[in-house]
Amino acid sequence: MPSSEKIKELQEISRQLRMDVLQMLHKAKSGHTGGPLGMMEMMVALYFYKMHHDPKNPLWEDRDRFILANGHTAPALYACLAHAGYFPKSEFQNLRQLGSPLQGHPKRKPEWGIEMSTGSLGQGLSIANGLALAARLDKRSTRIYSMHSDGEAQEGMLWEGAMSAGFRKLDNRCCLLDFNNVQIDGFNKDIKDVSPLDEKFRAFGWQVFTIDGNNMEEVVSALDEAEKVKGKPTMIIAKTLIGKGVSIFENKPAYHGVTPSDAELELALEELNRITPS
């Protein structure tokens, strides 16, 4: 477990990046607000604590890979990559503009740290499995991470990938699943409940961790524990709050896919500015 200073540093980055996400979405006037805010602790823990990567040498062959399967949450990825130094934050101005590398869903550009085009839910788990199999063949110590969502767990292809990773004992694979109980049209329970996900993944041969995904200590410790698992892929099911950090957006399906108005942005930034890491 990292020091309490490191945890505070990661919490502080999460706070700053939530503000970046809101500002870029506000400028773009289209995109998804709730998801990126809710999974920020996991994204920050990956990019600023766990993953081996080098923004100065983005194509380093032994880098760990990250695939954002729930691609509509791309602003969270862009905020991490810019903060790490892959590209300047001024690029946020161009989110979702024609010709910009920062599209509404990730468009592959490894020089900027964007490893794969994603957004068709369900596909990312298998893409990441392919990278993991290649790393194993090449005898590299690379680990392959991917982020998923509860709405995505309604897609059949996710389960084909889950079956393959378990069968092939891909222990260089670690998935995180943003379980906020919300999808595009409302709460999962009113649309199609995917529970119990832990039992389902275990049945497919995975080691499962269930955590509070907005608690930085739990996130980093699950990532550390996942790395120790041998002979199985690992799944971190993270309970989160959609819209986390901004009370007017928290746990509100309506903010799955809308961007903040001028007044909402002002309120949100004011609230995030008041937070000091505990």
Ligand X SMILES: Cc1ncc(C[n+]2csc(CCOP(=O)(O)OP(=O)(O)O)c2C)c(N)n1
Residues lying near ligand X in the complex (CB under 6 A) are found at 32, 34-35, 70, 72, 119-122, 149-152, 155, 178, 180, 182-184, 242, 256
Name the minimum Å distance from CB 152 to ligand X: 5
Q: How far is the CB of 259 from ligand X (least distance, A)?
A: 14
Nearest to 150 by CA among 200, 218, 219, 75: 200
Residue 133 or residue 258: which is nearer to ligand X going by CB? 258
Minimum Å distance from CB 88 to ligand X? 27
Q: How far is the CB of 214 from ligand X (least distance, A)?
A: 13
**Residue 234: enclosing H or E segment and its boundaries?**
strand 234-239
Q: Which C-beta is closer to ligand X: that of 70 or that of 146?
A: 70
Is residue 74 within 8 A of residue 112, CB to CB? The reply is no
Which of residues 63 and 148 has its CB atom nearest to ligand X in the complex? 148
Exposure string of 83-115, with b = 16+ CB inside 10 Å and e = fewer, is bbebbeeebbebbbeeeebbbbbbbebeebbbb
* Residue (of 92, 206, 126) closest to 118 by Cα position: 126
- 254 vs 275, which CB is nearer to ligand X? 254
If we measure between CA atoms, which residue out of 140, 131, 130 comes closest to residue 65? Answer: 131
